[in-house]
Amino acid sequence: MKFIGNSPSKCIFIGSLLLLLSCKGNSESEDISINTGNKIESHAAILYKEPFRPQFHFSPEKKWMNDPNGMVYYKGIYHLFYQYYPNDIVWGPMHWGHATSTDLIHWTPKKIALFPDKLGLIFSGSAVVDVNNTSGLGTKENPAMVAIFTYHNMDGEKAGKTNFQTQGLAYSLDEGNTWLKYKGNPIIGNTDLKDFRDPKVFWNSDTNLWNLVLVAGDRAKFYTSKNLINWVYKSEFGKGIGAHGGVWECPDIFKIKVENSNEEKWVLLISINPGAPNGGSGTQYFIGDFDGNSFKTTQKETKWIDYGTDNYAGVTYNDAPNNKRIFIGWMSNWQYARNTPTKNWRSAMTIPRELTLEKVNNNYVLQNTPVTQLKKQLNVEFSKETLNLHPNNPSTINYDNLNQSQIRFTAPSKNLKLIFSNTVNDSLVLDYNAKEKTFSIDRRHSGIVDFEENFGKEIHKNSTPNIISKTIDYQIIIDWSSIEIFINGGIYSFTEQIFPKKPYTKLSFRSEENLELKNLNLSKIRTIWKN
């Protein structure tokens, strides 16, 4: 490590790193070089060394993936199903892909779970474990894992019909390894709704009934059932409420405790495309009350779970341990999802995140932060208790593994700019403006951006009124083709894809005034793909 400051030259050992500290005059900037002496780990197969292949986010071994589906925890296993087309890297006839994990970080690919049939393609949906055998599809000793999903009948759509989406059921008696379609499908029919899809199912312990929410055009519809097969329509929500710039998709609803209180509220997630804050796809949320039949809210403003461009269709796990609410989103945007510059696979999921609900300025805010399991993947490669910044005199960290790292620090609530760059002049700029209370991401020159005109067209700038503290905690996670930013414990999060022509090797901190960054830590994140 090269340090430019006023201390005498010396060298010290920290762990396995040799840190060289040298004095060069009275410069007020710092130029820090980190040399680990190690190359990036080898991976399980050549495919996980491909350009832009995420090293610690889930991505399919090959071909196309979009929405997460059927997220359920059972017997120590997190099941992740997802929209999958096994024959190309662009969207096609939808199947349900499948992967499992014991820690939400390391994933084991499984065989395809659900295939299209005569009723249609297999669109998004959810899964539960019927532990009381209410459906009669299993037994109490061996309960069925039940998936409820949308059938999309392409022939009906091509014929101009409006009822080509219905809801189907499949079940597994071997903990998700193999699946049988229910012979009485569809379990929820459709007479006249063009968009009628994406059912989220859960057991409501308040009413001792199954609840289902799906979306129909620009609103959500709620149903109840005693047995997961026969459903009764109860109510709808959404007319004139929230964002309506596009079709509503991928709903989720759950009860959650308000932090530092005895209050509980219900959260309704609704993805929308287009109509997100920075264009294209995004996920809004509503805070309210739900009695098992209808959802109500007094919320006036539109709230978003993520203010970046690449977190869509996210839903949460049923039955996660310790009542945690674990969220995963599809890390892409329909504006350019089909055109991103990967060759054998396309799309990844976000880092799994824990959702919590807090009151900030007497306003409910749904926070999201990476699950704690990620910490086990971190190797701290550089830390500094205080980094002093001075006007127009940047401090720079030189580090070969920036594209596989976590950066954490605390800064005063003042203007601060971070610039990631490489040897071919790609640059990714993060900028907090304290006076305007805005945070922006500029990926216009971040690498390959010309595969679709909307990808690198504009700076993504967002208002951040809920930053009210005197200091700001920054957590930045960067992988080979993504960046995820969490501010003040996830009061704001920003998720964006990036495609640098070469890995970023420099991180510069810039300020317009004197300020101190505290507890700066830079960690390499180990690959999840084993040798």
List the one residue out of 355, 350, 311, 356 whose CA is nearest residue 334.
Answer: 311
3-class SS of residue 91: coil
- The torsion of the CA quartet 370, 376, 381, 385, rounded to 10 degrees, works out to 60
DSSP structural state of residue 107? -
Strand, helix or coil for residue 449: coil
Contact criterion met (CB below 8 Å) for 360 and 331: no
The set of residues, in sequence order, having a beta carbon less than 8 Å from that of 422 and lying 6+ positions away, is 500, 501, 502, 503, 504, 505, 506
Burial class (CB in 10 A: 0-12, 13-18, 19+), 309: buried
Neighbours of 225 (CB within 10 A): 19
Catalytic residue, chosen from 31, 67, 306, 400, is: 67
Give the separation between CA 525 and CA 376, rounded to whole angstroms.
Answer: 9
For the record, the structure tokens of 320 come out as: 């996660």
DSSP string, 427-438: EEEEEEETTTTE
How many CA atoms within 13 Å lie on the side-chain side of 130? 29
Cα–Cα distance for residue pair 243/170, rounded to 1 Å: 33
d(CA 173, CA 74): 13
Q: How far is CA 128 from CA 249, 318, 341, 398, in A?
A: 20, 7, 36, 47
Task: Please give the Cα distance from 498 to 447 (Å, whole number).
Answer: 7
Which pair of structure tokens corresponds to residue 37? 């002496």
**479 is a catalytic site residue:** no
Q: Which residues contact 461 (CB under 8 A, 6 or more apart)?
A: 438, 439, 440
In 3D space, the residue among 254, 251, 306 whose CA is nearest the CA of residue 282 turns out to be 306
Tokens linked to 364: 């409910």
Q: How many CB atoms lie within 10 A of CB 18?
A: 13
How many C-beta neighbours within 10 Å does residue 453 have? 10
Cβ within 8 Å of residue 36, ≥6 positions away: 16, 17, 381, 400, 401, 524
The catalytic residues are 67
